[in-house]
Every structure is written in C-alpha cells, then in structure tokens.
Amino acid sequence: MNSPQALPQSAAASADLAFDIEVIERNTPWYPEQLVELPDPPSKLFCIGNPGLLCEPSISIVGTRNPTAYGLRTAREIATAFARSGVVLVSGMARGIDAVVHETALNNGAPTIAVLGTGVDVPYPSAHRGLHHEISNSGLVVSENSPGRWAHQGAFPRRNRIIAGLARATIVIEAGHKSGALNTATHALNINRPVAAVPGPIDSPQSAGTNHLVRDGAIVIASVEDALALAGIAHAPRPEPVQLSEAEARVWSALGAGGLGMDALASASRFTARECMGIVTALELRGLVECLVSGEVRRR
C-alpha cells in the first residue's frame, strides 16, 4: 500500500500550537486496515509525525522496563537489522526495551512508530520528552486518546492492542510475569498474528515471561536472522562502512579484542582517561559502542 501524501482537511484536526496533530478516523482511506482485525478497533487515531508510516510493513518489539545488559544488547541488534532493512519498528516508548528500539531506529536513520497510552501530545514517561520530540520529527507518535489526556487506569493494556494490531508480528525481548509486553503478545495471538520471543536464563526474572511464551509455542528468536524471517527477510543487510576520525579509529581498534574498562581502554588507545571518555561518548551517540553497568566499553 502506498503512503498517503497528506490527509484531507476533513480528516485532520486543527493544528495545536505545539504539535501538528492529525486525526485519522475509522472508515476513511487513511485508517490502517490491519487494525480492523482487532475485536475493538480504535474509532480514531491522533497522530504527530508521518501518518503514512501506518501503511508501511512493520514489526513490533516490546519488553521489560528493567532490562538486563543481555536484553538491551539483543534489542539493539535486532532493531538495527530491521531498521537497515527498511522495516518500520513499533513500540510503546516506555523505559527499557521500548525506548532502546525507538532510539536504535532513529540512530540508523529509520522511521519508528510510538504508540502512547496518554494523549498523543503527552510524553510518557515525562523523561522521554526528548525521545517523543525526535520520533515526532522523524517517525510517528500515535494514540487513540484525546490530546492532553494523562495516563489513566486501563490505558496501557488498551494501548498494547494497537501496538500488536499495527504490526505483522510481535517480538518480545525480556518480560516478567504479568508484564505489559506479555499483554501485547496476547493481543497479537488473539488476532492470529505471529508472536516470537527471545529466550533467556531460567533464573532471570526478566526472562520468565519470554521463556513461558517459548514453552507455550511462540516462535523462538535464536538469531537476528530468525527475527528478520518474520518480515520475510532472508539475511541481515551488510552495514555501510563506518567513517571514523583518527582518534575514534584508535579507540575502535583497541576494542577489537573485546570489552575494556575506561582506564584500560585509555591506555590501549594512548589517550588520557578524559580524552578517551569524550571519544567513547561520541562513538556511543553514533550507536557504535555501549557502556555496560560493569564499567566496560565494547563494540555493538
């Protein structure tokens, strides 16, 4: 389906001073047909950004708000592969896995859709105001709630059905018992959409929900290729060659043997600790390295 170029005046809400909010009503050509499969599709969608993304192939990736380093790493790897393949990533802009999915898409210059349980103009959590702004400019923020509405009881389970409904498949990366991510998976299963899960350690609370999904028949994600197969993509695209400055190249080379603490990395790359920290920050912002809780820095 081709993306709509613009909504007609009858389908758009009057512009807000802070946000250009558009409204897509059900039974109009711009309403995403995949949502009609839900038992209770939203009667309208409030949008900030590019509503044409609702018509593009998409995958939802959701997970815990308190991920482990393993969960964060896996989310970045899978989201990067989808972003480089041109697949729109859908998530809920929550802390943890959701935020990493959106940030990874943006870092790769790819669009992403954030589905909110608040009004489309109310960033939630408030700490993600900057992320909300970035997605609004480069992707799409969407909600069925009227602008200005704050979080209320039952809003997020209802939000989850839209996350599941928009995507052709849902991937769960780390989820505890009775988590919102599992609720999203349930909505996907109820409309016969594929649900996949990344298995984890049996003694990790963050993997309890995903391991149960696998036990109950979810598709197992054992590699990035397994994830891409959900979108009909056979292989992960080769990344473009990274252009590094001389200083960045020295730090990057020092990390070739594996993770290093900041002091060891500074010594190996022949920088002062302060210089090395600045270079690592620049590489981290480009999505090339990650700083672990343990203090180690390593390539992504």
> In which element (H, E) is residue 44 found?
strand 44-49
Res 300 pLDDT > 80: no
Per the domain annotation, does 130 fall within a domain? yes
| Nearest-10 Cα torsion for 12, 16, 19, 24 | -20
- Any domain includes 234: no
In this structure, the answer to whether residues 221 and 270 fall within a common structural domain is: no
CA 152 – CA 289 distance, rounded (Å): 38
- Look at the chain and count its residues: 300
Residue 258 lies in a domain: yes
Domain termination site, one of 229, 264, 283: 229
Q: How far apart are CA 32 and CA 139, in angstroms?
A: 16
Is there a domain that residue 126 lies in?
Answer: yes
Same-domain pairing of 55 and 101:
yes
Lay out the sheet containing 260-261: strands in order across: 260-261, 296-299, 289-291
Q: What is the pLDDT of residue 236?
A: 66
Would 192 be classed as within a structural domain?
yes
Cα separation, 6 vs 10, in Å, equals 11
Look at residues 229, 260, 278 and tell me which one is the last residue of a structural domain: 229
In a domain, 286, yes or no: yes
Q: Are strands 21-25 and 44-49 parallel, antiparallel or unpaired?
A: antiparallel
Number of other CB atoms surrounding residue 285 within 10 Å: 10
> Based on the domain organization, do 216 and 189 belong to the same domain?
yes
Say yes or no: 130 and 172 in one domain. Answer: yes
Q: The tokens 């200005």 sit on which residue?
A: 148
Q: Which of 32, 7, 31 is nearest to 20 (CA)?
A: 7
Claim to verify: residue 217 and residue 255 sit in the same structural domain: no
Residue 139: its pLDDT value, please? 96
Query: pLDDT above 70 covers what percent of the chain?
Result: 91
- pLDDT mean across residues, the chain: 89
pLDDT digits (tens, 9 = 90+) for 148-157: 999 888 899 9
Residue with more model confidence, 239 or 218? 218
Q: Looking at the structure, do residues 81 and 225 belong to the same domain, yes or no?
A: yes
The CATH number of whichever domain residue 289 belongs to comes to 1.10.10.10
Identify residue 283 by its one-letter amino acid code: L
- How many separate domains does the chain show? 2
139 and 254 part of one domain = no
Question: Can you give the CATH number for the domain in which 165 is found?
Answer: 3.40.50.450
Residue 13 has pLDDT above 50, yes or no: no
> Looking at the structure, do residues 222 and 257 belong to the same domain, yes or no?
no
β 21-25/58-63 pair status: unpaired
Q: Please give the residue range of the domain that contains residue 99.
A: 9-229
Adjacent-strand bridge partners of 196: 171, 219
What are the pLDDT digits (tens) for 175-201?
998 899 999 999 999 999 999 999 999
Q: Is there a single domain that holds both residue 200 and residue 254?
A: no
209 and 95 in one domain? Answer: yes
Is residue 192 located within the same domain as residue 282? no
pLDDT digits (tens, 9 = 90+) for 141-174: 999 999 999 988 889 999 999 999 999 999 999 9
- Give the pLDDT confidence of 50-66 residue by residue, as tens digits: 999 998 999 999 999 99
| Per-residue tokens: 175 | 């989820």
Over residues 24-53, the mean pLDDT reads 94
- 239 has a pLDDT exceeding 70: no
Asked if 206 contacts 74 with a C-beta cutoff of 8 angstroms, the reply is: no
Predicted confidence band of residue 17 (pLDDT cuts 50, 70, 90):
very low
Instruction: Indicate whether 30 and 60 sit together in one domain.
Output: yes
More confident residue, 151 or 45: 45
Q: For the packed helices 180-190 and 155-166, what is the interaxial angle rounded to 10 degrees?
A: 50
Residue 236 lies in a domain: no
Q: Which two tokens stand for residue 113?
A: 């859709």
Contact 168, 230 (CB under 8 A): yes
Last residue of a domain, one of 168, 201, 229: 229
237 domain-assigned: no
Residues 6+ apart with CB under 8 A from 278: none
